[in-house]
Structure 1
């Protein structure tokens, strides 16, 4: 007897989730290591003094990635995508800010201000205590102003306030502090506008770096479907070209970039699930006394592709299994006498689910033949099912 069955196969939810999570952990870990190297370079360049808000955001995001990497890899992956969208602008932004707000010059200003503070406080004390309090508060605030960027944009206003303090223009402390706060508020607004302009100027280069990084990751992927991999690389090359087109939204390019990365993940996970199924079937057939042909083939046709596994016994009994790319298992047990194949089929089905967590469903007996049809053994039907959860 020869019997040919078709099933949709599905890994148990927990096993598939484990494969999915482990894949995300490995991928996110690679990006995390790269981001950490960049963050350490930024620290070494002293960027925390010049773009503190951006550095703080990056530090917090990296902590969140690390925190979620084991227990919530999906959240870690999503945060990694967020970091990817802005980290490549930070190097240029930091260098630009650093050049704009030279630390050495600022230290010189601070030393001069300290000397002048001492002198003016002495003079103020000689006049009256109220004026001394205004002078003291002004320089206390100046000492607390450690952000060189804010000081730079507020320099003109602060110079005027200092002159007014020196000349006794302010009649009370509150008047001076209000003017001081207004100057800082105006400087913060100017700094924000400057950063936005700088980030816009650097965004194109940053986006191209981002695309190149993703392309390198895709090139390093060991995907069985080389044609699909080539298509993804071609799409990345197209995105690289579009990144220089002013008429194309960079947000749309970012969206396409994340879509490609998700497709790579889905393809890699699908292949990993199928590899797991292939290994499980080989082990199961071996445990049932079949000798598995080690020449495992990946066969492509117009309907997709499938992995072909052939196994046999010295008695002539043979099994041919095809595992398709859309999650369907076609198998044939042939060269059996009468209905004796049913026992091997039942053990094969039960053990796959019990031992390897591979659940077979949607059974479809394509044909049965009471005769020994060895010459038809390699003719497998076209699959039509898919693995749930893909």
Structure 2
């Protein structure tokens, strides 16, 4: 080979080396840009939380430092950096997927725990009225919980307290509404009961066989009061306390009328039983009308001619005469009669007066049993 050829060969070799060096520099500079963009992508995707990129950045800085002076070494270092970036990215993705799996499991578990608490709370409520008032809001919250993805263990404490508070708030509101509804229904029930009571009192008054003039006047007055009470009740929306008080007075006065009438009937029955027990033949009682309600007259005779006449007034006055006896032989029948009324029929006699018409006749009159009439039923 000639010297000329050798010279050109050296030039060619040096030029090739220079071109290779320039190409290496250019490729490494381009690679550095790609590495930095890859690192930025990792950061933008939030993958840097799963890996450390500190060493990669140090190596990139080293590549930048030597790329101009030693492009081939920089190129070799760039290859390793590129490989490491790919490895770290895949590792970050794997760690992210594992974290997401764990979070899904936690959320599903905690979601089920909250749903179990919710369902148990609802199932433990025995008040169907409360449930009815809370139903819509409970259903809305249940749908919300079902559609919710759940929370992690870290978030669970605050989240569960929030749901418990919402459930309790629904229950409290439903309780208030249920109480108001019950109060309204109770007032309606009280009104219906009072209406029935008024109608019963009115019916009893109209059916009662009243004989006393005074009681007839009382009855008519009470019937007018009942009409007024019925009208007030129909016009009343809520407060019926005053009507209740008026009806209580009407009821008591109605009872007084019925008791007054019944007392005389019971006294008459007791007298008849006592006389029959003393072997008297008793005629049917006779009602003698007068302005005070009349007097019931009871006539009784024995085959021997002995006679007993009793008169029972509505005011409680009892008069009786035992006559056609010889001497004082009537005393035995009178004593038995009095004893029967008091001991057997629970009729207490008071203000007794004995009238002697003659040695052969005894009458007992003006016996007032109105104030001291006591009976045991």
- Bin for the TM-score computed over the shorter chain: 0.5 to 0.7
CA contact (8 A) 2:129 2:178 kept: yes
CA contact (8 A) 1:326 1:386 kept: no
Aligned counterpart for 1:131 among listed residues 93, 111, 131: 111
Q: Deviations over 1:174-227 (max 9, x none)?
A: 442232112201111022224445665787666435422443455455666683
Question: CA offset at residue 336 of structure 1?
Answer: 4.3
TM-score (norm: length of structure 1):
0.52
* Residue aligned with 1:276, SS: helix
Q: Deviations over 1:252-279 (max 9, x none)?
A: 2223323433444454455444333322
Q: How does 1:34-183 map to 2 (within 5 A)?
A: 127-145=107-125, 149-155=129-135, 157-158=137-138, 159-160=140-141, 163=144, 166-168=148-150, 171-172=156-157, 173-183=160-170
Aligned to 1:310: 299
**Structure 2 residue 247 is the aligned partner of structure 1 residue 257:** yes
CA contact (8 A) 1:307 1:322 kept: yes
**Structure 2 residue 271 is the aligned partner of structure 1 residue 290:** no
**Structure 2 residue 324 is the aligned partner of structure 1 residue 344:** no
Aligned to 1:64: none
Aligned to 1:332: 321
- Whole-angstrom distance in 1 between the partners of 2:189 and 2:270: 51
- Whole-angstrom distance in 2 between the partners of 1:208 and 1:353: 41
Q: Deviations over 1:120-139 (max 9, x none)?
A: xxx97573423331122223
- Whole-angstrom distance in 1 between the partners of 2:169 and 2:372: 63
Aligned residues: 263
**Structure 2 residue 284 is the aligned partner of structure 1 residue 319:** no
CA contact (8 A) 1:125 1:131 kept: no
Q: Deviations over 1:304-363 (max 9, x none)?
A: 543221223466543221223343321122344554443432333234445544443331
* Residue aligned with 2:350, SS: strand
Question: CA offset at residue 251 of structure 1?
Answer: 1.5
CA contact (8 A) 1:124 1:132 kept: no
* Residue aligned with 1:258, SS: helix
Task: Tell which has more relative contact order, 1 or 2 (C-alpha 8 A, sep 6+).
Answer: 1
Aligned to 2:202: 215
* Residue aligned with 1:243, SS: helix
| Higher Cα Rg, which structure | 2
TM-score (norm: length of structure 2):
0.54
Aligned counterpart for 2:358 among listed residues 363, 366, 370: 370
* Residue aligned with 1:308, SS: strand
Describe the shift of the 1:363–1:247 C-alpha distance in structure 2 as closer, same or farther (beyond 3 A). Answer: farther
Q: Deviations over 1:135-169 (max 9, x none)?
A: 22223334445656434533564325752672547
CA contact (8 A) 2:318 2:367 kept: no
Aligned to 1:240: 230
Q: Deviations over 1:94-137 (max 9, x none)?
A: xxxxxxxxxxxxxxxxxxxxxxxxxxxxx975734233311222
Aligned to 2:171: 184
Q: Deviations over 1:78-98 (max 9, x none)?
A: xxxxxxxxxxxxxxxxxxxxx
- Whole-angstrom distance in 2 between the partners of 1:233 and 1:216: 10
CA contact (8 A) 1:281 1:352 kept: yes
Instruction: Please list every run of 5 or more consecutive structure 2 residues that lacks an aligned counterpart in the other structure.
Output: 1-102
* Residue aligned with 1:386, SS: coil
- Whole-angstrom distance in 1 between the partners of 2:190 and 2:344: 52
239-248 vs 321-330, greater mean Cα deviation: 239-248
Instruction: Please list every run of 5 or more consecutive structure 1 residues that lacks an aligned counterpart in the other structure.
Output: 1-122
